Amino acid sequence: MNLRSLLVIAAIGTLSLTACGSDDAASPATQAAGDAFNEADVTFAQGMVAHHEQAIEMSEIALDPTIGASEAVRDLANRIKGAQDPEIALMSGWLLAWGQPIQMVLTEGHDMSSMEGVMSASEMDALGATTGAAFDTMWMEMMIRHHAGAIAMAQTVKAASANADVLSLADRIIAAQQGEIEEMNALLGG
């Protein structure tokens, strides 16, 4: 079991224990769980957990000192990781409260790489094998594509969601990732 899986399990355990407390104020995870939800909400949460996990993996590659990423890319990678880790815990808590699996159940012939903006294993391998300025360019181009996929997923759930907290998170994802795309385009000179 990798560190990412352990962190998600720990976050879910913390959310579960928090929900059992005697405080009358409900946690965000239990508030969302108490609200209506539908298949679109579940699909979004499951898909976005997996999507965010890849963005964090890409960020961890950028933060590896042997890669030689620029300070600007390392700063952005830290911010992406810092924003998306808590969102993974939040969405995992929703799924747990809704009685749904955290991992998306993939049908035959479909895998995560069919999701919008998700990198293939070979693309991730190529990213990890690149260094310096070439890495910066490749990482930002891939992250722009990755963010565009997350924005599309968030826009899709906004049209079909039954849950106010899911809609709020979708809005936050769209705003944050559009801003990061603009920042990366500026760094790329575009």
pLDDT for the residue 1? 45
pLDDT tens, residue by residue, 121-166: 999 999 999 999 999 999 999 999 999 999 999 999 999 999 999 9
pTM: predicted TM-score of the whole model, two decimal places: 0.80
Q: What is the DSSP letter of 114?
A: G
pLDDT tens, residue by residue, 61-97: 999 999 999 999 999 999 999 999 999 999 999 999 9
Query: Which candidate, 123, 171, 173, 124, places its Cα nearest to that of 148?
Result: 173
pLDDT for the residue 33? 52
pLDDT for the residue 16? 41
What's the rounded Cα separation, in Å, for the pair 133 and 12? 38
Which range (116-125, 127-136, 168-177) has the least confidence?
116-125
pLDDT for the residue 116? 85
pLDDT for the residue 178? 98
| Per-domain boundaries in the chain | 38-98+116-187
pLDDT for the residue 166? 98
Query: Which candidate, 158, 127, 165, places its Cα nearest to that of 145?
Result: 127
Q: How confident is the model at residue 11 (pLDDT cuts 50, 70, 90)?
A: very low
**CATH number of the structural domain 38-98+116-187:** 1.20.1260.10
